[in-house]
């Protein structure tokens, strides 16, 4: 270790004394910074409380809208169910559809013979994938032709060809 000279010891003592004095002087100004911190903290707490109140009000409004929407959806579903039940054709008469196929078609929004007879080739492919049928099933079993016959009350011809 190096040995300090008397001058170095004196400089070290003066630096320590000067640091101590500066610390005492800055401590008297510390109240200003503490007050600014407390003011900022209280502003933050009040702003946060206001945001929490707005959030609670928004959540309450969302819950109210969901209740209203579910009630109106239920009434709309019941009214559409009664409307469609009056205007449904017996799609199970189409050879290859059956009762379970009819319910799947109804679930997809197909309720009348015109819905089936009006399908395009692209619609057929999409419908086959949605009901899980093999590609080409609708064309192979001639659903569109059958639906057209049934829609035009050609029941005898339909029975003769597809039974």
Q: What is the pLDDT of residues 127-140, one digit of tens each?
A: 888 888 889 988 99
Please tell me which residue, 6 or 73, carries the higher pLDDT value.
Answer: 6
How buried is residue 129: exposed, middle or buried, by Cβ count under 10 Å (0-12/13-18/19+)?
A: exposed
- Residue 73 reports pLDDT greater than 70: no
pLDDT mean over 7-35: 84
The verdict on residue 104 lying in a domain is: yes
Domain count, the chain: 2
pLDDT band for position 14 (cuts 50, 70, 90):
very high
CA 68 remoteness from chain centre:
18
Closest CA to 127 of 31, 135, 11: 135
Provide the domain limits for residue 103.
91-162
Instruction: Give the Cβ contact number of residue 118 at 10 Å.
Output: 14
The verdict on residue 61 lying in a domain is: yes
The verdict on residue 79 lying in a domain is: yes
Instruction: Give the Cβ contact number of residue 46 at 10 Å.
Output: 10
């Amino acid at each position: 270790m190096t040995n300090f000279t008397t001058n170095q010891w004196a400089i070290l003592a003066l630096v320590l004394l000067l640091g101590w004095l500066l610390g005492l002087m800055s401590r008297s100004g510390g109240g200003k910074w503490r007050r600014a911190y407390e003011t900022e903290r209280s502003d933050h707490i009040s702003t946060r409380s206001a945001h929490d109140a707005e959030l609670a009000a928004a959540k309450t409004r969302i819950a109210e809208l969901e209740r209203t929407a579910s009630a109106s959806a239920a009434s709309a579903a019941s009214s559409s169910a009664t409307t469609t039940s009056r205007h449904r054709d017996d799609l199970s008469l189409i050879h290859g559809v059956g009762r379970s196929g009819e319910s799947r078609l109804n679930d997809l929004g197909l309720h009348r013979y015109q819905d089936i007879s009006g399908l395009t080739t692209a619609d057929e492919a999409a419908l086959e994938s949605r009901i899980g049928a093999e590609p080409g099933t609708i064309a192979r079993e001639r659903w569109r032709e059958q639906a057209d016959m049934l829609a035009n009350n050609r029941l005898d011809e339909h029975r003769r060809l597809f039974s």
